[in-house]
Amino acid sequence: MPHFTIEYSANLDSRLDMKLVCEVVRKAAVETGIFPLGGIRVRAIRCEHYAIADARNDYGFLDMVLRIGEGRDLPTRKKAGEHVFQALSRHLDPVFADSKFALSFDMQINDKDTSWKRNNIHDALKVEAAHG
């Protein structure tokens, strides 16, 4: 954890480089200093079928959900969430300027008793850090 899932309207493909959007989110998550590097995941899912507002085809959306593990207090979560949201929002300023667009971001806390994980990336990063 943290795992960011981005769902976006297909009509954004011509306006956004989604690989770059994922990198903006990943970098902002690292900058918060509260997430383990080896746990960060950012994925983008293109939504081919969607309906927005009064169904005009030129409306777009990007909805991001962050799932994190338990243990961080509310002020810490809010500060980190605000940092990530502002980085993403700034990156999307051109989309807001050129089109009708909705951006949303929600943070969810996973219950540790019902969340299973297996990850050897943390160990690989420790070895890499130790050996330069």
Structure confidence at residue 111 (pLDDT) = 87
What value does the mean pLDDT of the chain take? 94
Q: Is the dihedral of CA 31, 68, 24, 39 positive or negative?
A: positive
- Quick: pLDDT tens for 52-75: 999 888 899 999 999 999 999 999
The structure's pTM equals: 0.89
Report the helix count and the strand count for the chain, using DSSP H and E. 4, 4
Over residues 92-121, the pLDDT tens digits come to 999 999 999 999 999 999 988 888 888 888
Please give the pLDDT value at position 91.
98
What is residue 123's predicted lDDT score, i.e. its pLDDT? 86
Two structure tokens written together for 44: 């983008």
Q: What angle do CA 40, 43, 46 make, to 5 degrees?
A: 170
